[in-house]
Structure 1
Amino acid sequence: MLSTLKSQFWGSHGVVSSRVERGSRRAAAAAGGSQGSGVCCQQQNSDVVFQRLSRALERQNVLARSKKTERKSAKRWEIQSILGAEKQVEEEVASTTKNEVVLPSVGSWSSLGVRTGKRTDIKKILILGAGPIVIGQACEFDYSGTQACKALKEEGYEVVLINSNPATIMTDPETADRTYITPMTPELVEKVLEKERPDALLPTMGGQTALNLACALAESGALEKYNVELIGAKLDAIKKAEDRDLFKQAMEKIGVKSSPSGIATTLEECFKIAEQIGEFPLIIRPAFTLGGTGGGIAYNKEEFETICKAGLAASLYSQVLVEKSLLGWKEYELEVMRDLADNVVIICSIENIDPMGVHTGDSITVAPAQTLTDKEFQRLRDQAVAIIREIGVECGGSNVQFAVNPKDGEVMVIEMNPRVSRSSALASKATGFPIAKMAAKLSVGYTLDQIPNDITRKTPASFEPSIDYVVTKIPRFAFEKFPGSQPILTTQMKSVGEAMAMGRTFQESFQKAMRSLETGHSGWGCEKVKELDWDMDKLRYNLRVPNPERMYALYAAMERGMTQEEVHDLSFIDPWFLNQLGELMEFEKFLKTMKLTELSKQDLYEVKRRGFSDKQIAYATGTKEIEVRAHRVAMGVVPAYKRVDTCAAEFEADTPYLYSSYDDECESAPTSNKKVLILGGGPNRIGQGIEFDYCCCHASFALQDAGYETIMMNSNPETVSTDYDTSDRLYFEPLTVEDVCNVIDLERPDGIIVQFGGQTPLKLALPIQRYLDTFKPKAASGEGYVKIWGTTPDSIDAAEDRKRFEAILNELGINQPPGGIARSEEDALAISKRVGYPVVVRPSYVLGGRAMEIVYNDAKLKTYLETAVEVDPERPVLVDKYLTDATEIDVDSLTDSYGNVVIGGIMEHIEQAGVHSGDSACSIPTKTISDKALATIRDATTKLAKKLGVVGLMNCQYAITLKDEVYIIEANPRASRTVPFVSKAIGHPLAKYASLIMSGRSLHDLGFENEVIPNHVSVKEAVLPFDKFQGCDVILGPEMRSTGEVMGMDYGFDKAFAKAQIAANQRLPLTGTVFISMNDLTKDGVVPIARGFQELGFKILATGGTAQHLKQVGVEVESVLKLHEGRPHAGDLLSNGKIQMMIITSSGDVLDQRDGRELRRSALAYKVPIVTTIAGGLANLEAVRSLKESSLEMIPLQDFFKKKDVDATS
């Protein structure tokens, strides 16, 4: 049976055949052929010879690739044909090169009127970052921006950076020469232009945010006023690509088809276009927006009106494209680069497994494209080249998206991004070709043939990448964080992160990607799949309607006997992919018939080559994962590690960028140097994002400087940590016990760091420690055994385990809110009765407050417990008294192995305790906390760090009551999400210090022995994705829901807070009306807020009870009806533009009253600032007062840390 499956597999997996095609395409571009160059060989005789040589070299390359990759499976007549053709081609090359015709050299471009080579007429370049992490725009722009800064500094340019996101490597003070962590608005960026006077502005590294800013600055005349040139993409090219109407006209001009559509700027025009198209469903795509924001698929008139309104509001120029649906068509992307000499290269083709109708960021994607014929690919390639030329992107990268009709191969272009994008980052990691770095070099005049390939160091960038492996990217979602939102995927992106994996086959890379997601699955199948319990109607619905669980519905349907044809008819997923998945199911069936000891070495190799994990094999054979590993290793079945080399092994890779496969030859070549393995954070998710990647990068940089070889292991394609030059060696692998232990066995590092990647590596710490204790691997350097560096896994567990932690706190005399551990519903009810409602309930061992809730009575508690048990059934539920009106404090500290402790930063939360720390604004230094409370906090943190034996970072959270009582909420002996913010606020790289401490250095050695209290104020504000999740309430609570953060810095709290609010897209009004609606608990607290806004000239509007209370204390207020009380109500005033700010508090109950919920959603839709806490209201009042008194000053990060600006206190 296994041999039959093997023959089926080799006949259908599609990798080998496509390798030759890719080699052919790359050779053509490398030779500078007609597809790769538009201006070389102006003379006719040169052109003829050049084309002959290009064709000959292309064929020679194809044959070389064929010999290398095809012979093992080719028939004898095929090999003879290859050898005969090879001889013919060699003769053709030889005869062609005898012609003494000189082709144009790089220097001769100038004679053709093309300026190439590094520009010397510009000295200072301003780079625009992407701002905070939001859905559709994530870590990939830190990766691209960091690459651009490094590339341009290498060339000797002075680099100025603007970005509001502190959790980025690009905003570190050493990345650019001048760094402005400031709101990214046209007005404030213009102030930076005035101050810095750059020669050029590079807008293509910061996603849609940067492009829109560049357009606004150009149209306002600011660029012309300060004589700043746009580089990377000219304004005309940006507009032509982003403006739906201009793009459509451009496509018509060059004969590239697009879906029947029309451009609308009003709702009436939208309906006229819908009538002309004549049928639903219709796709609505707003212009100049990010991740499909405001767009969607409308199946009827009511949905059409709703989506069109949202799209017009979201678009920078109130413009939407209404187009005929291409649902069911296959979707492809090409990453394209073009230089000033009109050379064009295709970096990578990407195929979406999900058909049209799902945003590419939400789709499972595969590179290179697997189901295109060569003819279809050449058509896409030709069109992509024509498009980038017509649009006019002349020095950088672009992403072009196509739809292909699976019935007849008809091609239509969807859209183009004239910038570095999410797909660019994926293509860069998939191929090893650093698109952002190359684009930065192209923007200052270089041509592709002048830029060397970093990985091979033998080929230029004009040499198109060719890969002999398959890459699969799978998105990660967080619908569970947004109750009320529908988990349905459309053209508006909703994923919060993604994982990528590489393998020699699609099946291997797909299974590795599935387990890289860290959603509890160890692959695809061979485990308990809840969808198997669904009835067939539910399965059909989940196949028909795109959703995050569709691949498991597909598994369940096929397991239950649904044919591949029926699955295809429901899902429109290409039959080739369904066939591949069907083969995996056949292997699963085979495994379930075998005992572990019956699996031969060949059987194990065949299974592992299809990506099955040890855990899956254990499930299928009824054994344990550790037993499978032991059996496999005893049989000699271990992974080989292959290098990503950009050229399918044609040249040796100089850079160790590695992935595993169960292949014959291992290319890793590990060294015997002193080395450290750093475990990354895996895919982004709410609660674990870029902040942890930042810490991993800092660890690598610091340890490299200290003389260690650093090894990074991660599965996230968006991040700087998975850039091949961040560490000495990179393993792009899933973060599981099996995969980490495989790398440990191969590399045998001196140390393993689990402290920086968030919860992902922490969960691996105990099983890895058990593995090290059992097998005692010796370090390759010869200096002892492999160890986990830093705080021990046992100490980490002591802080996470409620019972152990409670005992430590009692011993140290540190107060904790009254509560207990509930292992049953009865326990939880009893504890709640003892401590009194409200209580905070949460499962242990979670990040980002997952499944955490404030409950107010027994009924709500019972409802919650059903959900919590599902989240983490192996751990008990924690029940704690909720401290009403308390202020929350975050503390980051450092402890060395000699027991010295230094406070890194103490942050005061602006929202009251009960709002998750990741969603609350906070400030350094504290603003309202007494010296007595601060002293208690410092003492408790120091005692706890020493007792736990912390080596490195620890984060503690405290609550301070109105009576100035301090309670500890939790302690995490690891890097926290606040580390980047604190590091920038105090001017000390805490993660770097922590990694050096783990290597044995003391705080004294590092010169960091006292807490730093800065003279300036830094405010961090959370950025929330509510606009992507219709139907979800906007209220903040104990479960984290923010995707990113921004930072404001100034010498006063009011200005720093104002900067943070503006950076988080809160439009602070200077005039107008403030609407206030309070619950009974907060009516007294709102009085100073209402009075303050009134004194500033604002009109105060309030609902009945609140208005009455304000009138009683002398505040002039106008009453307005609630939504259920009649018309006109507060919602009408909001939609008519009569309200400029809303302050609405809630009891914290997730089942908030309908009125408040609808008002908050409406405010979000109309982009009116919403404040949901008293503390937030007071801070906003201060910010508005400050803005009315004076304008904001732009201060670079580096200027805050002159000696006079910082105090040190012991």
Structure 2
Amino acid sequence: MPKRTDIQKIMVIGSGPIIIGQAAEFDYAGTQACLSLKEEGYEVVLVNSNPATIMTDKEIADKVYIEPITLEFVTRILRKERPDALLPTLGGQTGLNMAMELSKNGILDELGVELLGTKLSAIDQAEDRDLFKQLMEELNQPIPESEIVNTVEEAVAFAATIGYPVIVRPAFTLGGTGGGMCANEEELREIAENGLKLSPVTQCLIERSIAGFKEIEYEVMRDSADNALVVCNMENFDPVGIHTGDSIVFAPAQTMSDYENQMLRDASLSIIRALKIEGGCNVQLALDPHSFKYYVIEVNPRVSRSSALASKATGYPIAKLAAKIAVGLTLDEVINPVTGSTYAMFEPALDYVVAKIPRFPFDKFEKGERRLGTQMKATGEVMAIGRNIEESLLKACRSLEIGVHHNEMPELAAVSDDALIEKVVKAQDDRLFYVSEAIRRGYTPEEIAELTKIDIFYLDKLLHIFEIEQELGAHPQDLDVLKTAKLNGFSDRKIAELWETTADQVRQLRLENKIVPVYKMVDTCAAEFDSETPYFYSTYGWENESIRSDKESVLVLGSGPIRIGQGVEFDYATVHSVKAIQAAGYEAIIMNSNPETVSTDFSVSDKLYFEPLTFEDVMNVIDLEQPKGVIVQFGGQTAINLAEPLAKAGVTILGTQVADLDRAEDRDLFEQALKDLDIPQPPGKLLPMKKKQFLQLVRLASQFLSAHLMYLVDVLWKSLKTKKTFVLICVLRLRQVQTTLFLLTLISSDKSVKSMPFQTEKMSLSLVSWSISNVQVFTQVTQWPYTLHKPCRKRCKKQSQTILNA
């Protein structure tokens, strides 16, 4: 079917600000869609409120409105632009909810604007819990026993008939917002009340808990001719009960039989056909691990976070093709841009394993509720590709940038068995590391599977990793064991740790014995057809498929997973740097580990390496590509932290040099630079300090907090993974005086400490942050409505100085 000619102008709605459950993946989807529509000759108008996104660049759409995505503003833009059609399915829940609001207020009918992609009836059927339940019953698709409620009392009454635990699922919310699992009436009343408030239609689904079932996702597509296909299926490491955005995910699904796969595939295709969705759709299902029984959990009638993951996992550009389908093209007439020869109707095939691990914000919010449930808490995610589960999982672990380079947290060795098992059973953000520690202590996969309902297949893989650790420890410098470890994703750092040597020596041993990675292409077809996509991942095998070109190249390091303090703005910078490199006549190479971003779209750069952003992995790419240099200044702190080790290894750092980075990051050098420039600054002093003095300062801060309520003393004692660095921040915050006593204490391996009084005229800051030796420390500061008496100030300062002088 040819593309539609009765429409010329299309408005695309973005997803607005980055929030939990709706992050950079919608910038990726929206950018792909806008470019795809322009490619087909349509005029594109974009509405989005997030200026940090690629999609709000003026070359992405013909007209860009950076305005609030509210009924008032979007209606104004519709009246001014008079588009023929509206495409809301690439703007996440924000886009869908806005389309529904425009329709209910009669704006679309008044202006004659057609809705593309997903019809209003389909949005209603997928998002409205009552209509969804009716549709599943019509299709004979099983759903958990459930009831739609509009009041807390209705929720309590239904739960009493089916028993606890129950799950609360609010209608028309994002990332499970307002929902949760309830073990008793008290929890149900609290969660249901909140869920009803957050649902725009004041509606919740109360359903029987099926926690413990396998959670499986199918990413499916359909066109106007009713052609439908499965792009990718994905299996959650964690069972049902944990939001899929907070769970480790593997693609393709690893533990299903062919019969189970076909059963769930048929169910997913029947659902997208019944909804008559034209574009992409995500179907979530629960599979009983002990029978062929399954349930449909929910359907997202739009491009989602899982769509971005499926796109990067397979190379199949879901958002780009969804936009083409929305304007009338069919899957059997659109060429797959990856192969350049097959059509989009061809289902992707994978000859590798993809692992996704969520990135949580608890390094910044240490007192936050870390228990995982049906409400999403992760701010971002990383993805890694390997030839087996072990390789992809360990690559993903070292991509997280949480201070680990393996599926191991050394501090867990001090945790008691009882505390360990409690953490294993009660899922938190770091459960993978607790489960791995349990295996190291001798708990069997069968025992852990019984406690957690995690499939024993994955636990056997964790056991295999531990067995390789033991082999490495027993056979230092053994090349055969080294090869086995590298085939299974072990880093040089972990091997060095087990061999009691350095990572540099392990790397040197590898290079001397030609134990180096090869790079395989992500081609959507498992090498069945010739492909032209420049999208690669590393593995330790045979036949390198990434051929260095004769053109001089520049490597740009991305910023890794989205987290607090390092968001989509760095991806924006990375993409623009690539454009500038290409305009200057160089080959632009990107290296990144985030599946949500525009930078990891293989069409953006000349070559894409989906790899962890560690010294080892970056050097492996450099060894192959031999670039003119590496640019680190657009990848946030992630890339900046790699500048010094890369420079020491002889790599040319382009742009801001390491010495200049140090001058900005190192407090002493920065103070000296300000002094040289005659710029006023807070006075600083470097003092020697012992740990005993440090602990005395902690106690002093605590005493003042107890004794003087006119203080706010927020003390943060953080032990880093190296066990060599400790950070203490004491902030004495006063609202009605011009002086704030600020005591910053840092003990590092060289036992140095810096103590600075800090003055400011305004006391209205809500967050104070410092970067110390590449460690980001955030301390919450609130306003205190009292004046600090002068004697108290003197006493605190005097006691602090006494300790320092001791």
Describe how 1:233-632 pairs up with structure 2 within 5 A.
233-277=118-162, 279-393=163-277, 395-525=278-408, 529-596=410-477, 599-600=478-479, 602-632=480-510
CA distance in structure 1 between the aligned counterparts of 2:713 and 2:599, rounded to whole angstroms: 39
Q: Deviations over 1:1051-1076 (max 9, x none)?
A: xxxxxxxxxxxxxxxxxxxxxxxxxx
Aligned with 2:229: secondary structure? strand
Contact 1:838 1:881 (C-alpha < 8 Å) held by counterparts? no
Question: Aligned partner of 2:242: which letter?
Answer: V
Aligned with 1:520: secondary structure? coil
Q: Deviations over 1:992-1012 (max 9, x none)?
A: xxxxxxxxxxxxxxxxxxxxx
Describe how 1:876-955 pairs up with structure 2 within 5 A.
878-886=754-762, 912-913=764-765, 915-916=767-768
Q: Deviations over 1:347-366 (max 9, x none)?
A: 00000000011000000000
Equivalent position to 1:789, from 632, 654, 658: 654
Question: Aligned partner of 1:880: which letter?
Answer: M
Contact 1:796 1:972 (C-alpha < 8 Å) held by counterparts? no
Aligned with 1:464: secondary structure? coil
Question: Aligned partner of 2:532: which letter?
Answer: D
Please state how far the C-alpha of 1:466 moved relative to its aligned partner.
0.4
Structure 1 match to 2:679: 814
Structure 2 match to 1:667: 545
Question: Aligned partner of 1:574: which letter?
Answer: D
Asked whether 1:173 is paired with 2:58, we answer yes
Contact 2:611 2:617 (C-alpha < 8 Å) held by counterparts? yes
Q: Deviations over 1:1075-1103 (max 9, x none)?
A: xx982469xxxxxxxxxxxxxxxxxxxxx
CA distance in structure 1 between the aligned counterparts of 2:688 and 2:375, rounded to whole angstroms: 41
Gaps of 5+ in 1: 1-115, 773-785, 887-910, 918-968, 977-1036, 1042-1076, 1083-1210
Contact 1:159 1:176 (C-alpha < 8 Å) held by counterparts? yes
Q: Deviations over 1:121-163 (max 9, x none)?
A: 0111010000000001000000000001100111111111111
Structure 1 match to 2:800: none
Question: Aligned partner of 1:318: which letter?
Answer: T
TM-score where L is the length of structure 2: 0.90
Contact 1:839 1:881 (C-alpha < 8 Å) held by counterparts? no
Contact 1:150 1:175 (C-alpha < 8 Å) held by counterparts? yes
Equivalent position to 2:47, from 162, 178, 196: 162
CA distance in structure 2 between the aligned counterparts of 1:735 and 1:881, rounded to whole angstroms: 37
CA distance in structure 2 between the aligned counterparts of 1:391 and 1:873, rounded to whole angstroms: 61
Aligned with 2:384: secondary structure? strand
Please state how far the C-alpha of 1:726 moved relative to its aligned partner.
1.0
Please state how far the C-alpha of 1:839 moved relative to its aligned partner.
9.4
Per the alignment, do residues 1038 and 579 of structure 1 end up closer, same or farther by CA in structure 2, a change over 3 Å counting? closer
Question: Aligned partner of 2:668: which letter?
Answer: K
Contact 1:237 1:392 (C-alpha < 8 Å) held by counterparts? yes
Select between 485-494 and 872-881 the one with higher mean Cα deviation: 872-881
Please state how far the C-alpha of 1:915 moved relative to its aligned partner.
3.3
Question: Aligned partner of 2:412: which letter?
Answer: E
Please state how far the C-alpha of 1:403 moved relative to its aligned partner.
0.2
Asked whether 1:636 is paired with 2:514, we answer yes
Per the alignment, do residues 298 and 431 of structure 1 end up closer, same or farther by CA in structure 2, a change over 3 Å counting? same
Question: Aligned partner of 2:785: which letter?
Answer: N
Structure 2 match to 1:128: 13
Q: Deviations over 1:546-588 (max 9, x none)?
A: 1011111112111111111111111111011111111111111
CA distance in structure 2 between the aligned counterparts of 1:631 and 1:155, rounded to whole angstroms: 53
- Cα RMSD of the aligned pairs, angstroms, is 3.0
Structure 2 match to 1:218: 103
Q: Deviations over 1:1135-1172 (max 9, x none)?
A: xxxxxxxxxxxxxxxxxxxxxxxxxxxxxxxxxxxxxx
Please state how far the C-alpha of 1:843 moved relative to its aligned partner.
10
TM-score where L is the length of structure 1: 0.61
Contact 1:420 1:436 (C-alpha < 8 Å) held by counterparts? yes
Q: Deviations over 1:239-267 (max 9, x none)?
A: 10011111111000010001001001111
Aligned with 1:763: secondary structure? helix
Aligned with 1:170: secondary structure? helix
Contact 2:666 2:773 (C-alpha < 8 Å) held by counterparts? no
Contact 2:405 2:493 (C-alpha < 8 Å) held by counterparts? yes
Question: Aligned partner of 1:221: which letter?
Answer: G
Please state how far the C-alpha of 1:749 moved relative to its aligned partner.
0.5
Aligned with 2:45: secondary structure? strand
Question: Aligned partner of 2:386: which letter?
Answer: G
CA distance in structure 2 between the aligned counterparts of 1:845 and 1:1078, rounded to whole angstroms: 28
Aligned with 2:543: secondary structure? coil
Question: Aligned partner of 2:586: which letter?
Answer: Y
CA distance in structure 1 between the aligned counterparts of 2:270 and 2:68, rounded to whole angstroms: 37
CA distance in structure 1 between the aligned counterparts of 2:483 and 2:773, rounded to whole angstroms: 41
CA distance in structure 2 between the aligned counterparts of 1:121 and 1:845, rounded to whole angstroms: 63
Q: Deviations over 1:71-104 (max 9, x none)?
A: xxxxxxxxxxxxxxxxxxxxxxxxxxxxxxxxxx
* Aligned-residue identity in percent: 50
Contact 1:516 1:682 (C-alpha < 8 Å) held by counterparts? yes
Aligned with 2:286: secondary structure? strand
Per the alignment, do residues 856 and 665 of structure 1 end up closer, same or farther by CA in structure 2, a change over 3 Å counting? same
Contact 2:741 2:758 (C-alpha < 8 Å) held by counterparts? no
Moved over 6 A (4+): 827-833, 837-846, 861-866, 872-875, 969-973
Please state how far the C-alpha of 1:723 moved relative to its aligned partner.
0.5
Please state how far the C-alpha of 1:409 moved relative to its aligned partner.
2.5
Per the alignment, do residues 376 and 712 of structure 1 end up closer, same or farther by CA in structure 2, a change over 3 Å counting? same
Please state how far the C-alpha of 1:809 moved relative to its aligned partner.
1.9
Question: Aligned partner of 2:761: which letter?
Answer: D
Describe how 1:687-698 pairs up with structure 2 within 5 A.
687-698=565-576
CA distance in structure 2 between the aligned counterparts of 1:198 and 1:270, rounded to whole angstroms: 43
CA distance in structure 2 between the aligned counterparts of 1:617 and 1:863, rounded to whole angstroms: 42
CA distance in structure 1 between the aligned counterparts of 2:713 and 2:128, rounded to whole angstroms: 52
Please state how far the C-alpha of 1:852 moved relative to its aligned partner.
8.3
Aligned with 1:412: secondary structure? strand
Per the alignment, do residues 646 and 862 of structure 1 end up closer, same or farther by CA in structure 2, a change over 3 Å counting? farther
Please state how far the C-alpha of 1:483 moved relative to its aligned partner.
5.0
Per the alignment, do residues 543 and 842 of structure 1 end up closer, same or farther by CA in structure 2, a change over 3 Å counting? closer
CA distance in structure 2 between the aligned counterparts of 1:375 and 1:295, rounded to whole angstroms: 33
Q: Deviations over 1:1096-1127 (max 9, x none)?
A: xxxxxxxxxxxxxxxxxxxxxxxxxxxxxxxx
Q: Deviations over 1:942-963 (max 9, x none)?
A: xxxxxxxxxxxxxxxxxxxxxx
Per the alignment, do residues 750 and 839 of structure 1 end up closer, same or farther by CA in structure 2, a change over 3 Å counting? farther
Contact 1:696 1:757 (C-alpha < 8 Å) held by counterparts? yes
Select between 537-546 and 473-482 the one with higher mean Cα deviation: 473-482
Structure 2 match to 1:141: 26
- Give the helix-richer structure, 1 or 2: 1
CA distance in structure 1 between the aligned counterparts of 2:628 and 2:643, rounded to whole angstroms: 16
Aligned with 2:532: secondary structure? coil
Structure 1 match to 2:589: 711
CA distance in structure 2 between the aligned counterparts of 1:701 and 1:655, rounded to whole angstroms: 18
Per the alignment, do residues 463 and 667 of structure 1 end up closer, same or farther by CA in structure 2, a change over 3 Å counting? same
Question: Aligned partner of 1:730: which letter?
Answer: L
CA distance in structure 2 between the aligned counterparts of 1:207 and 1:755, rounded to whole angstroms: 30
Question: Aligned partner of 1:806: which letter?
Answer: E
